Chains A and B, each alone.
Chain A
Amino acid sequence: MVKSNLTRRDFLGASAVAGAGLLLASCSPGARSEAGTPGKAADDIHVALIGYGAEGAVLMDSLIKIQGVRITAICDIWNYHRNEGQRLLKAYGFEANAYENFEDLLAKEKDLQAVVVATPDFWHAPITNACLKAGLHVYCEKMMSNTIEGARSMVETMRSTGRLLQIGHQRRSNPRYLFAKQRLLDDARLCGRVTAAQAQWNRAVSEDFGWPKKFIMPADQLARYGYKDMHQFRNWRWFKGLGGGPLSDLGAHQIDVFNWWLDMTPKSVMASGGVDYYKTHEWYDNAMVIYEYPLPLGTARAFYQVQTTTSAGGGYFEMFMGDEGTIKMSEDPSICAIYREARAPSWDALVQKGYIRAKISAAEAADVVKVDVRETAPLAEYEIPVFFNKPPHMPHLENFFNAIRGTAKLNCPGDEAFKSEYVIHKANEAIPLGHRLDLTPQEVLA
């Protein structure tokens, strides 16, 4: 008979095993302990996860799969999330201590090497700075901070302590993005002269986040952590002083890709947006931004839109368009595409080098005086030949832990991320001004 009470709670309990007949007698972990196994290895990196909301949960799903990483502590001010995270970690084989306050965690956890920070934005700088000063390496979710000053302080602390600070722009470690940037855009110059870029992330209208009645935090606890009430706590992204609205929530990832792929920061930004739809928010419902990039071959404009009142528009992606081709990237591989302009040189050599794969080959005549006549040939179609079969955040976390071990260089250190941070904050700033803001290459540096 089925163990029919296999609820999530039951499943996470020690006795809730799927049925003895289903289980293997043992598994053979490698020399280093495997995440989720009861055993430990001496060279495991001990990590604390600070912030176990939606993003913290996504990061934990990847962390538990990375070899040689042990989550030994979890911290969240909300017991609803904190207890859930601790229960899940226990089920995965991690005896993690749980804390409400990150300062308590730092005071008591003496065996940590690193922390992963996934709290609301306005806590990033204080927590990151404290952890770096405590000698820990930090992986901090983007945005770095809700203010430019906060982000700058993180870079300064990173430099003064000599600890590693990775910012969670996970596309920078995504093998498909790395391949397309390095091989297709830079080496093969597949786009030709890049003249424009476009990115978007549109989402349908949604309810503000709520909370189960029985898990309401007391007012004094909320105030202690900077929140006016439960609504503000649960919907912090929409409040000035706590988060940065949709441009920093969703746009941060994609505007960072503009800078990364174009190897520079923009010389100007203009933007439009407004709080026109939601009655309970302080940040813009919808925003449209145009950056100008002074590329060596001429100016390219990058348009970014983030709508939170409609999901229309074909998903979330970043697209780089040139006079010879276009590369469309997304974390969703089904959206990724490359297009060849008719005037571009043949891509056959790129196919042969393995840079791209021809889904449908172009019909090319070997001898220009000859032609074969038959059914209408389809248009040639190409694709990026990188198969990436991991959760999106996992390679970026792996890069962080490899950097701690000294076997890799960070793909998105704090000072590099600051450049994107700065121009994203400037887009938010440009909206109420209603005019173009000029940006210098110097001011974007921390």
Chain B
Amino acid sequence: MIEIHVFEHRAMATTFQARIQGEEKSYAAQAAAAAFQRLNALESVLSRFRPGSEICQASALLPGEFLRLSEPVFACLSLAKQMEQITRGAFSATPAALRNQPTPPLWELDQRTWMVHCQKGKLDFDLGAIGKGFALDRMKEILEEWGCEIHLLVAGGSSIRAGQPPLDLQGWSCGLGDNDSSQRYCLKNCSLSGSGLAVQGRHILDPRSGQPAARDGRTWALCDTAAESDALSTAAMVLSHKELEEVLKLNCQWLAWIQEKDLWRCMGNRPLPARA
């Protein structure tokens, strides 16, 4: 097989990987560096752990206040807003809001002025369940600008964005779970994300109640973009089966798996990718 070059970079409290095939190593390294540079720039504006970041500034808004946002922050919040609506609040850009206030905060975006408007409550944005996926989507754009179509981008193992498959293969072999999972699919030009409690414990909150997610097993989501799959896999941790089915019915490009003991239950109308 033609060599696949692998590059790593630490960001967003995890390790990102760029795997690239079909290019000279030095060229692939520079393309990966450009993608990681974009990742760094995104982290600097999207991280709530960076004092003064745009997301921190937005989080500090009081009711009635506006803040002008840069393009990536506005885009990420726009996607978060859509995912919040589609998942009926199971995903939220303010997941811990109910821990500190009786009702969810209200906020709006204005495309004309690129502003976020705090209407009610304290925002306390936390894009941890969409930011890594969003970053993968933006990194993929860079790699494509560089002509690196055959690539796989990985964010800490919890989200991947697959480009064109390696030569002579149907897709990148992506497993649901760890330890060389038996549930493997050949993925190309799509994204897969997983959520669960194995690494960070009960860190996922149900934004609708402020309580930890009820589900014990892992969830995965397969979507066109990593921002969607990242957010949807988190939402699947808190949605009931019935709620998840209803969400998936309205979005034919989405597929979700729920792990129940040793079973992987697949839900959604997107055609299942080929098994690896």
Interface residues of A in 11-36 (CB under 8 A from B): 11-12, 17-19, 21-24, 26-27, 29, 34-36
Chain A contacts to B: CB under 8 angstroms: 1-9, 11-12, 17-19, 21-24, 26-27, 29, 34-38, 54, 61, 64-65, 88, 91-93, 206-215, 332-334, 388-392
Interface size class of B (residues with CB under 8 A): 35 or more
Residue-by-residue, is B212-225 near A (CB-CB < 8 Å gives 1, otherwise 0)?
00000000000111
Contacts of B6 in A (CB 8 A): none
In the complex, besides A36-B68, A38-B112, 20 extra interface pairs with C-beta distance below 8 angstroms are A5-B224, A7-B141, A11-B74, A12-B71, A17-B111, A18-B111, A19-B81, A22-B81, A23-B111, A24-B109, A24-B110, A34-B68, A64-B68, A208-B30, A210-B29, A210-B34, A212-B31, A389-B57, A391-B54, A392-B52
Q: Is B86 an interface residue (CB 8 A)?
A: yes
* Most chain B beta-carbon contacts within 10 A, residue among A4, A8, A61: A4
* A22 with B68, Cβ < 8 A, contacts A2-B251, A6-B79, A389-B56 known: no
Contacts of A333 in B (CB 8 A): 51-52
Contacts of A54 in B (CB 8 A): 37
* A1 with B250, Cβ < 8 A, contacts A18-B81, A333-B52, A389-B60 known: yes
B110 touching A23, Cβ below 8 Å: yes
Q: Is B185 an interface residue (CB 8 A)?
A: no
B251 touching A1, Cβ below 8 Å: yes
Majority secondary structure, A binding face: loop
CB distance from A32 to the nearest CB of B (A): 14
Contacts of B14 in A (CB 8 A): none
Chain B contacts to A: CB under 8 angstroms: 26-27, 29-34, 37, 51-52, 54, 56-57, 60, 66, 68, 70-72, 74-75, 78-79, 81-83, 85-86, 108-115, 117, 137-138, 141, 145-147, 223-225, 227-228, 250-251, 253
The chain A residue with its CB closest to the CB of B232 is A2
Contact of B225 among A6, A34, A209 (CB under 8 A): A6
A61 touching B70, Cβ below 8 Å: yes
- Cα A6 to Cα B60 with chains together (Å): 27
Contacts of A214 in B (CB 8 A): 145, 147
* A36 with B114, Cβ < 8 A, contacts A12-B71, A210-B31 known: yes
Contacts of B250 in A (CB 8 A): 1
CB distance from B26 to the nearest CB of A (A): 8
The chain A residue with its CB closest to the CB of B30 is A210
The chain B residue with its CB closest to the CB of A9 is B141
- Cα A38 to Cα B56 with chains together (Å): 27
CB distance from B274 to the nearest CB of A (A): 22
CB distance from A104 to the nearest CB of B (A): 26
